[in-house]
């Protein structure tokens, strides 16, 4: 039934419709605006769940794929292409959407985190109309990123997340919000430039496809993901230097390294991480929930989708580099998290550490690792969203989230403290909660080829215990300072997303097959390619 | 196939898990009713465990295994499963029995605490995880439960969260045991990639390692065994990771009895027993286990001599007794280790619960402020005395039989290990005599008012004491030199009986000497003043500071790490972020230069155009060579 409608496009553009409606509503009707925004955030989530229910891993997402020709520009035949035996040439911009076991978990994550962030937007205190309009626009960008199957389209959606995020950080954040927003834009703009360059290289070489028409052969030149995937995997195209699809090793390497930098900034990989510290510390809590919960995962997704699937050979050669970077991320982030006095910075550095585990998963080049990387992305998304929700709740009440100023909060806010402890335990990888599964699969995957790196990497788990317990226990345990004695526990509207996120974290931890089953078969093609490279 | 109770073994952890879910969902609203929910759940688990054990007593029942697929990633399949063998059924009974008694006891002990339902929720979660650990049929499932019991221990140590000491102790317990856990995790990863078919279940481990086939190289086997042992060292408080266990006494006393004496800390011993085939394949690993065990046994016993907190003395005693169990394992005898685990669970739980009864009555844990309590608390004094005799290894109390088995195994292996064990037995008797006489004999030394108010504990607390005392007295008879029933039941093989006169004489002699010296120092003379102040020698100070192990860790690990953290923090802000700021500034400067150029002067524009043209030409010309 879902196959009969363009479900992916509806899912993606529903929030955009919400933006338009929000903009038409009068500024003064705050409750109405909020209701609309929440409704248009939950509707895509429901669609995503429906998609999850009807998605069959063995079949893949083919039935849901959408394709429309968007722009077709004829090319001058004199542009050096005349000798390729075709009668006409064109530049194709397709609108292609698709879903598979790699994007579906992230779409679900986006739905879940965005919905909870929409509820958590009670912490926003001004300019609601603009806030919700941007908040919804951001969602369209995020869904688009995970569902686009065309490089140009992906790029457009990717940029579409930057602009609303810039304003969301810069207008509604804490004291240093404007600097943080600038930092965010500069870095991510730079990343986008690298990405665009890599995409252009790929489109200009491997983006060709031939179609037979009545008037002769037409060579089209597009960013279609499927075409790129097929051409890059085609062994003939790779060796035939005369082929129009020939991509020299040097160019492949250039594209790969550009992609690693572009998505490495997003993930972030050391030493490109300083921008996200500012964002974590200065942006408003619901905005950080989205940022840490979803936007960072676009880096992991991009690395897998384009780095791994399109350029497996380069990934294979660079696996030791990525694994080393991953271990550096894990240990560096964890040690620095131990040294922070501001809880938001502890969480920021902890994100760096946890994203290192994603890199380990990708570098392991086997199914356990790939699934571990995706699992870890989703799990960290849920956990960090929950943690920043709690940060928002505590900041509203205590007006600080500095570890050395808070203390004994479990006496006055037992519910929040309990959820905080649970989220902290999930973050340090306690089995039974989702964090463990992603870490275990990634470590398991990498251990086959780089046991020593894993042995160093597990130190991160030890440090994680140190920074989580150090901060959570100093905030909630111990004697209660007098000035916090009047604090009250959460309202219902805050408790709801806390319970929902905790439930998801427990559910995925207890029964991870809910997610890993979805991913099965999605990596088959890639693994076969990697195998053949080992064999040949 | 007949339906057996073993098939339903997974209900045993399910009952307390359900109780935990109910208690958590209802929150504090449930109040004291929550205590009964948890107790009922543990009663159900106990009855089921008893049925399973009785079913297996016939000795004919097959081992039963049940499993489900937990996680599949392509060719990788991870299972969650349970297995019922004679060993697991014995452990089920021990755990559920102690849990049940501790639940009952806590109804009295915790009755005035406003968070009583939270407490019982944690205890229920602990019971469920511990039963899961015991039942696990593979290492991954065991590891998951292993971590969960650890977190329950952490939660319960920090139960009185307002106390800064409890907070510090909880944090320490979690972090120190996690060091061991990482060893176990690495061992699992090693096994996964090296075992045939990536199997992690104990049956496959038995098949691979017991047959002494060369599937895994000798050095790899040793490495795996040592990593597993690292996990056991953390959990069972063996040297050098013992430091968390004495601090864990900040938790409520019933927890000390349940988790930090009878069940969870024995999980390390259980783990080694479960994976003993790997250890048997490596002489080096066995030797490491024996040496660490023997050293811990004597090291902790010596420290126990100089502690003044009643619970800390018992905690060091636990560390020391776990050392005995490891010693037995290192000497190759799983039967002796399991036997000592079995008897220790009863007499140590008894000692802690009796200590709790004392603390409940006079609200102090410092033995220098006690004395003369025997007259006011008869049941507590008698049961504590039985526990102390059992721990000291005096016949016919249960501890005698099991310690005798451990020492006999040690003597088989090496006279040195045996000698260390006997000396540790002497110290054990000495510190127990000191504890017993200082608490229950002589004149009251502490607050007179508290003494006057000291009253007998309620029945819900004393009945568990009496039950445990009976077991501490009798439990040893399941395995005597004449009738090695337990050992043969566990291993399924007939064992050679026989009494070793040397072992009996040496161990009983050492213990009696210890008790006698204890009586001399603390029993007879205690009325004449505070004995603790008598000998403040240098040695005593070292013992009171526990050989400065904590201080050493502080110097060797904690401070360097903190310094490293601060250093990297500065590096991150100054160097990494500084480079970024510098890059940003130079772009800004370029932009400013640009604005200055675009000032409306035609000459400047022309200059720019010329420069641009030159650059372009250079680029085009240079392209040919690129």
Q: How far is A431 from chain B (nearest CA, A)?
A: 5
Extract the tokens encoding A500. 């929902």
Partner-chain residue, chosen from A186, A339, A479, that has the shortest CB–CB distance to B566: A339
Interface of A with B in 359-398 (CB under 8 A): 366-368, 371-372
Q: At what angle do helices B164-194 and A459-476 cross, to 10 degrees?
A: 160
Nearest to A24 by CA among A16, A15, A33, A35: A33
Q: Which chain B residues touch A437 with a CB distance below 8 Å?
A: 71
Are A339 and B76 inside 8 Å of each other by CB? no
The CA distances from residue B314 to B163, B256, B384, B551, in Å, are: 22, 9, 12, 22
The CA distances from residue B20 to B28, B33, B150, in Å, are: 12, 13, 16
Are A372 and B73 inside 8 Å of each other by CB? yes
Q: Which chain B residues touch A461 with a CB distance below 8 Å?
A: 178, 182, 185
Please report the pLDDT score of residue A455 as a whole number.
92
How confident is the model over A464-521, as pLDDT tens digits? 999 999 999 999 998 888 888 888 888 888 899 999 999 999 999 999 988 888 888 8
Q: How far is B622 from chain A (nearest CA, A)?
A: 19
Q: Give residues with Cβ within 8 angstroms of B248, minimum separation 6.
A: B153, B157, B169, B173, B256, B260, B315
Could you count the other beta carbons within 10 Å of the beta carbon of residue A183? 23
Q: At what angle do helices B501-518 and B398-413 cross, to 10 degrees?
A: 120
Q: How far is B23 from chain A (nearest CA, A)?
A: 14
B4: helix, strand or coil = coil
- Interchain contact A17–B (C-beta under 8 A): no
- Interchain contact A339–B (C-beta under 8 A): yes
- Interchain contact A507–B (C-beta under 8 A): no
How confident is the model over B537-547, as pLDDT tens digits? 677 777 777 88
Please report the pLDDT score of residue B111 as a whole number.
83
pLDDT-derived band of residue B228, with 50, 70 and 90 as boundaries?
A: very high
Q: Are B394 and B433 in contact (CB under 8 A)?
A: no
- pLDDT above 50 (res B487): yes
Extract the tokens encoding A274. 């300083």
Could you count the other beta carbons within 10 Å of the beta carbon of residue A82? 11
Report the residue of chain B nearest A57, measured CA to CA.
Answer: B74
pLDDT-derived band of residue B250, with 50, 70 and 90 as boundaries?
A: confident
Strands A66-74 and A88-97: antiparallel
Average pLDDT over residues B205-225: 82
Handedness of CA B358, B359, B365, B368 (dihedral sign): negative
Report the residue of chain A nearest B573, measured CA to CA.
Answer: A274
Strands A88-97 and A216-222: parallel
Q: Cα angle at B185 between A373 and A475, to 5 degrees? A: 75
Are B73 and A431 inside 8 Å of each other by CB? no
Please report the pLDDT score of residue B474 as a whole number.
85
Q: How far is A486 from chain B (nearest CA, A)?
A: 17
Q: Of B135 and A58, which is predicted with more confidence?
A: B135
pLDDT-derived band of residue B626, with 50, 70 and 90 as boundaries?
A: very low
Q: Which of A265, A278, A339, A371 should be substituted to probe chain B, the one whose Cβ sees the most B Cβ atoms within 10 Å?
A: A339
Instruction: Report residues of chain A scoring pLDDT below 50.
Output: 535-536
Report the residue of chain B nearest A271, measured CA to CA.
Answer: B576
Q: Rounded CA gap, A273 and A283, in Å? A: 16
Are B73 and A371 inside 8 Å of each other by CB? yes
How confident is the model over B268-307, as pLDDT tens digits? 999 999 999 899 888 899 999 999 999 999 999 989 888 8
Partner-chain residue, chosen from A371, A425, A469, that has the shortest CB–CB distance to B175: A469
Q: Which chain A residues touch B564 with a CB distance below 8 Å?
A: 335
Element containing residue B478 per DSSP (H, E) = none
How confident is the model over B493-536, as pLDDT tens digits? 665 556 677 888 888 888 888 888 888 888 776 544 444 444 55
In the sheet that A216-222 helps form, which strands lie side by side, from edge to edge?
Answer: A66-74, A88-97, A216-222, A208-213
Are A371 and B74 inside 8 Å of each other by CB? yes
Q: Give residues with Cβ within 8 angstroms of A99, minimum separation 6.
A: A8, A51, A55, A61, A64, A65, A107, A147
Are B73 and A527 inside 8 Å of each other by CB? no
Widest CA span in chain B: 113
Q: Rounded CA gap, A396 and A394, in Å? A: 5
Q: How far is B159 from chain A (nearest CA, A)?
A: 10
Alpha-carbon dihedral angle through residues A410, A414, A418, A420, given to the nearest 10 degrees: -70
Interface of A with B in 66-125 (CB under 8 A): none
Please report the pLDDT score of residue A49 as a whole number.
94
Q: Which chain B residues touch A470 with a CB distance below 8 Å?
A: 171
Partner-chain residue, chosen from A336, A338, A432, that has the shortest CB–CB distance to B144: A432
Instruction: Work out the mean pLDDT of chain B and round it to a whole number.
Output: 84
Average pLDDT over residues B458-485: 82
Prediction pTM value = 0.90
Q: Are A278 and A179 in contact (CB under 8 A)?
A: yes
Please report the pLDDT score of residue A173 as a whole number.
86
Q: Which chain A residues touch B148 with a CB distance below 8 Å?
A: 430-432
Beta strand residue intervals within B467-532, DSSP E: none
Are B144 and A479 inside 8 Å of each other by CB? no
Please report the pLDDT score of residue B557 as a whole number.
84
The CA distances from residue A26 to A33, A41, A125, B178, in Å, are: 8, 20, 17, 56
Q: How far is B76 from chain A (nearest CA, A)?
A: 7
Q: Rounded CA gap, B540 and B534, in Å? A: 11
Q: Rounded CA gap, B547 and B552, in Å? A: 9
pLDDT-derived band of residue B63, with 50, 70 and 90 as boundaries?
A: confident
DSSP B299-357: HHHHHHTT--BHHHHHHHHHHHHHHHHHHHHHTT-HHHHHHHHHHHHHHHHHHHHHHHH
- Percent of chain B beyond pLDDT 90? 29
Q: Which of A57, A180, A328, A335 should be substituted to probe chain B, the one whose Cβ sees the most B Cβ atoms within 10 Å?
A: A335
Please state which of the ranges A297-301, B220-224, B300-304, B594-598 shows the lowest mean pLDDT: B594-598
- What residues does each domain of chain A span? 2-530
pLDDT-derived band of residue B376, with 50, 70 and 90 as boundaries?
A: confident
Please report the pLDDT score of residue A405 as a whole number.
87
Please report the pLDDT score of residue A224 as a whole number.
87
Residue B133: cis peptide before it, omega within 30 degrees of 0: no
How confident is the model over B95-105, as pLDDT tens digits? 999 999 999 88
Interface of A with B in 508-527 (CB under 8 A): 511-513, 516-517, 519-520, 523, 527
Please report the pLDDT score of residue B528 as a whole number.
44
- Interchain contact A411–B (C-beta under 8 A): yes
Element containing residue B394 per DSSP (H, E) = none
Are A430 and B178 inside 8 Å of each other by CB? no
Q: How many Cβ pairs within 8 Å bridge chains A and B?
A: 133
- Interchain contact A431–B (C-beta under 8 A): yes
DSSP A42-88: HHHHHHHHHHHHH--TTT-SGGG-EEEEEEEEE--TTTTTGGGS-SE
């Amino acid at each position: 039934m879902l196959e009969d409608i363009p479900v992916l496009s509806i899912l993606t553009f529903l929030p955009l419709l919400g933006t338009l409606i929000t903009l038409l509503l009068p500024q003064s009707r705050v409750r109405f605006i909020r209701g609309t925004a929440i409704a248009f955030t939950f509707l895509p989530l429901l669609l995503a769940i429906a998609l999850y229910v009807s998605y069959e891993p063995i079949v893949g997402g083919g039935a849901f794929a959408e394709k429309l020709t968007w722009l077709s520009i004829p090319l001058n035949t004199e542009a050096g292409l005349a000798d390729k035996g075709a009668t006409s040439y064109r530049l194709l911009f397709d609108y292609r959407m698709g879903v598979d076991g790699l994007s579906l978990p992230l779409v679900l994550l986006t739905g879940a985190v965005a919905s909870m962030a929409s509820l958590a937007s009670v912490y926003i205190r001004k300019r609601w109309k603009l806030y919700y309009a941007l908040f919804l626009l951001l969602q369209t960008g995020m869904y688009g990123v995970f569902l686009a199957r065309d490089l140009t389209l992906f790029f457009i959606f990717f940029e579409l997340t930057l602009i609303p995020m810039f304003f969301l950080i810069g207008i509604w954040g804490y004291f240093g919000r404007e600097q943080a927003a600038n930092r965010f834009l500069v870095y991510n703009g730079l990343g986008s430039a690298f990405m665009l360059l890599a995409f252009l290289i790929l489109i200009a070489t491997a983006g060709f496809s031939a179609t037979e028409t009545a008037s002769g052969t037409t060579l089209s030149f597009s960013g279609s993901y499927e075409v790129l995937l097929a051409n890059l995997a085609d062994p003939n195209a790779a060796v035939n230097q005369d082929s129009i699809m020939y991509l020299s090793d040097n160019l492949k390497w250039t594209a790969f390294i550009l992609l690693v930098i572009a998505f490495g900034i997003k993930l972030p990989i050391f030493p490109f991480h300083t921008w996200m510290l500012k964002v974590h510390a200065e942006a408003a809590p619901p905005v950080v929930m989205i940022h840490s919960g979803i936007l960072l995962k676009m880096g992991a997704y991009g690395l897998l989708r384009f780095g791994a699937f399109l350029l497996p050979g380069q990934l294979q050669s660079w696996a030791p580099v990525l694994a080393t970077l991953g271990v550096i991320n894990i240990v560096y982030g964890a040690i620095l998290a131990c040294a922070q006095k501001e809880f938001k910075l502890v969480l920021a550095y902890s994100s760096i550490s946890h994203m290192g585990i994603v890199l380990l998963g990708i570098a392991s080049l086997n199914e356990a690792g790939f699934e571990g990387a995706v699992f870890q992305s989703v799990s960290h998304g849920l956990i960090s969203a929950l943690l920043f929700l709690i940060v928002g709740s505590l900041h509203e009440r205590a007006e600080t989230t500095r570890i050395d100023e808070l203390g004994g909060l479990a006496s006055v806010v037992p519910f929040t403290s309990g959820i905080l402890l649970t989220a902290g335990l999930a973050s340090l990888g306690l089995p039974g909660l989702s964090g463990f599964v992603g870490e275990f699969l990634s470590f398991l995957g990498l251990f086959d080829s780089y046991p020593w790196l894993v042995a160093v990497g597990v130190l991160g788990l030890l440090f994680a215990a140190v920074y989580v317990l150090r901060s959570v226990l100093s905030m909630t345990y111990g004697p209660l300072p007098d000035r916090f004695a009047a604090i009250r526990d959460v309202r219902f509207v805050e408790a709801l997303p806390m319970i929902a996120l905790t439930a998801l974290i427990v559910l995925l931890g207890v029964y991870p097959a809910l997610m890993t089953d979805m991913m099965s078969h999605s990596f088959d093609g890639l693994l076969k390619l990697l195998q053949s490279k080992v064999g040949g | 196939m007949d339906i057996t109770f073993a098939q339903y073994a997974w209900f045993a952890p399910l009952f307390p898990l359900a109780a935990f879910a109910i208690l958590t969902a209802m929150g504090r609203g449930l109040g004291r009713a929550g205590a009964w929910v948890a107790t009922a759940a543990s009663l159900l688990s106990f009855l089921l465990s008893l049925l399973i054990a009785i079913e297996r007593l016939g000795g004919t029942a097959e081992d039963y295994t049940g499993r489900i697929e937990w996680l599949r990633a392509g060719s990788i399949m991870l299972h969650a499963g349970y297995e019922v063998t004679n060993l697991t059924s014995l452990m089920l009974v021990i755990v559920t029995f102690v849990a049940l008694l501790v639940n009952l006891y806590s109804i009295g002990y915790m009755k005035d605490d406003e968070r009583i339902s939270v407490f019982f929720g944690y205890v229920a979660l602990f019971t469920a995880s511990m039963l899961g650990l015991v039942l696990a049929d593979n290492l991954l499932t065991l590891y998951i439960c292993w971590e969960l019991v650890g977190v329950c221990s952490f939660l319960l140590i920090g139960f009185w969260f307002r106390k800064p000491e409890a907070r510090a102790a909880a944090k320490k317990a979690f972090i120190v045991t996690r060091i061991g856990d990482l060893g176990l995790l690495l061992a699992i990863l090693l096994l996964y990639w090296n075992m045939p078919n990536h199997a992690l279940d104990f049956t496959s481990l038995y098949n691979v390692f017991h047959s002494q086939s060369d599937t895994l190289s000798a050095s790899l086997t040793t490495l795996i065994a040592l990593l597993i042992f690292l996990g056991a060292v953390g959990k069972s408080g063996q040297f050098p990771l013992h430091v968390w266990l004495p601090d864990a006494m900040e938790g409520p006393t019933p927890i000390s009895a349940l988790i930090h004496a009878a069940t969870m800390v024995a999980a390390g011993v259980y783990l080694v027993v479960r994976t003993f085939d790997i250890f048997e394949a490596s002489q080096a690993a066995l030797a490491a286990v024996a040496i660490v065990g023997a050293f811990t046994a004597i090291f902790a016993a010596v420290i126990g001599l100089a502690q003044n907190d009643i619970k800390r003395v018992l905690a060091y005693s636990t560390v020391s007794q776990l050392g005995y169990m490891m010693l037995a394992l290192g000497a190759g005898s799983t039967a002796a280790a399991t036997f000592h685990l079995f008897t220790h669970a009863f007499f140590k739980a008894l000692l802690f619960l009796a200590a709790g009864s004392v603390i409940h009555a006079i609200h102090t844990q410092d033995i220098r402020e006690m004395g003369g309590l025997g007259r006011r608390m008869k049941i507590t004094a008698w049961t504590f005395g039985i526990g102390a005799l059992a721990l000291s290894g005096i016949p016919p109390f249960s501890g005698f039989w099991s310690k005798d088995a451990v020492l006999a195994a040690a003597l088989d292996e090496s006279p040195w290990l045996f000698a260390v064990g006997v000396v540790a037995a002497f110290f054990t008797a000495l510190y127990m005599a000191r504890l017993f006489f200082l608490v229950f004999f002589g004149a009251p030394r502490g607050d007179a008012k508290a003494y006057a108010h000291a009253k007998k504990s309620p029945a819900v607390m004393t009945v568990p004491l009496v039950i445990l005392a009976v077991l501490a007295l009798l439990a040893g008879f399941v395995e005597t030199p004449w009738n090695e029933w337990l050992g043969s039941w566990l291993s399924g093989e007939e064992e050679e009986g026989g009494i070793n006169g040397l072992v009996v004489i040496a161990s009983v002699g050492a213990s009696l000497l210890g008790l006698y010296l204890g009586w001399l120092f603390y029993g007879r003379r205690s009325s004449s003043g505070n004995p603790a102040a008598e000998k403040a020698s240098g040695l005593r100070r070292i013992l009171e500071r526990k050989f400065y192990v904590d201080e050493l860790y502080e110097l060797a690990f904690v401070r360097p790490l903190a310094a490293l953290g601060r250093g990297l923090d500065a590096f991150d802000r100054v160097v990494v972020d500084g480079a970024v700021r510098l890059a940003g500034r130079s772009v800004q400067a370029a932009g400013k230069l640009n604005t200055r150029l675009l000032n409306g002067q035609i000459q400047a524009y022309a200059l720019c155009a010329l420069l641009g043209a030159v650059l372009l030409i250079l680029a085009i010309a240079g392209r040919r060579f690129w």
